[in-house]
Amino acid sequence: MQTTLAKEFSLIGTGLHSGRPVRLKAMPAPAGHGVVFVRSDIMDRDNVVVARFDAVNDTQLCTRIANEAGVEVSTVEHLMAALAGCGVHNVRIEVDGPEVPIMDGSSVRFVHEILTAGVIGLEAPVRVLQILQPVKVVDGLAVAELLPSDSFEIDFRIEFDDPAIGTQMRRLDMENGSFARELSDCRTFCRQADVDYMRRIGLARGGNLENAVVVDAGRVLNPEGFRRADECVRHKMLDALGDLALAGAPVLGRYRGIRAGHRMTNLLLRKLFDTPEAFEFIEADAELAARLPGAGLSISDLDMAV
C-alpha cells in the first residue's frame, strides 16, 4: 500500500546557504499525491513545487527544484532521503523560505520526526520503478548508473585528495530499516577551502560545525570528529537516495556512483526516463512491498545508529 504521515509535524531550522530561519510543516496527503512542496511565504503566484527529477533546475552544492512560475525550494535532498528511507510516498511540505532547513547536516532529525508522527497505509497500491536495462552517465572520472537488481541497492565510491577523507567505498541494500540505521545520521561534509569559496560567492551563510563536517589538510575541524569512520561515503549514499526519490517512486535496481553527486544523479534520472525500454512501473505485491525502504521500520531503529 501507499503511505502517508499519520499526523503532521513542524520544525524550525536554518537554511544552509541563505543563513535564514526556516519553518517547515509536513502534513498527511492522499494516495497519488506524491511529495509536494508549498512555499507558504509566496502568495502572488503558483507556490506549489512538485518533487520530481524534471523540476530540478540547479545542482550546485545541493538539489534545487522549481515550478513554471519560478518558485524554488532548495536543499531538498536530505528530507527526500528521509521520506524515501521511511517509506513515505505522499506528503505536503510547507516551507516559509527558499530552503529546507539543514538541521545537523544529516537526515536523522527528519527521520525522527517522521517516525514520531507515524506512517500509515492508504488504500492504493505502491508503484515501483523497476530497472530493466543498465543506464549510465559519465563525466570525466564521475560515473552514475542504474542496473537491474531484485532489490534496491546503493553502491558508492568517493575519492578525495584530503587524507581525512581519502578513498571510501560502501554498498548497502536499502530494504526495511537500513537507511535509518546505517545512513540517516551521516552529515554533509566539505573542505575548509570549499567553505571559503562558497562564502565568497554568497553561499553557505548558515553553515557551521554544527551542521557540516569540515576537514582541512588531514584534520577534522569538528571537535567530535566523524560519527562513523566512513561517514563521508555514507552521506553521499544518503544524498543519492534523496535525489533518486525525485523519480517519484521507489526504485527496484542497483545505483552505482563513483565520484558522483547531485548533478550526476539527476542526469542519470533524465537519461533513464528518456530510455523507455530501460524501465517499467510495476505494482508491488506483498512480498516486494515488505522489502521496500521503510517497511517494518520503527523509531527503535534510530537507536541502532551509531
Cβ neighbours around 91 below 10 Å, total: 24
Q: How far apart are CA 75 and CA 85, in angstroms?
A: 17
Q: How far apart are CA 240 and CA 243, in angstroms?
A: 5
- Which candidate in 17, 78, 89, 262 is catalytic? 262
Q: Do the bridges between strand 119-121 and strand 64-66 make them parallel or antiparallel, or are there none, so unpaired? A: unpaired
- Structural contact between residues 85 and 294, judged by C-beta atoms closer than 8 angstroms: yes
Find where cell 560502501 sits: 170
Q: What is the DSSP string of the chain?
A: --EEESS-EEEEEE-TTT--EEEEEEEE--TT--EEEEETT--SS--EEE--GGGEEE-SSS-EEE-TT--EEE--HHHHHHHHHTT--BEEEEESSSB---TTSSSHHHHHHHHHH-EEE-SSPPEEEEE-S-EEEEETTEEEEEE--SS-EEEEEEE-SSTTT-EEEEEEE--BTHIIIIITTPPPEEEHHHHHHHHHTT--TT--TTTSEEEETTEE-STT--SSTTHHHHHHHHHHHHHHGGGSS-EESEEEEES--HHHHHHHHHHHHT-GGGEEEEE--HHHHTTSBTTT--THHHHT--
Residue 33 a catalytic site member: no
Torsion of CA 197, 62, 60, 178, to 10 degrees: 110
Which residues are known to be catalytic? 262
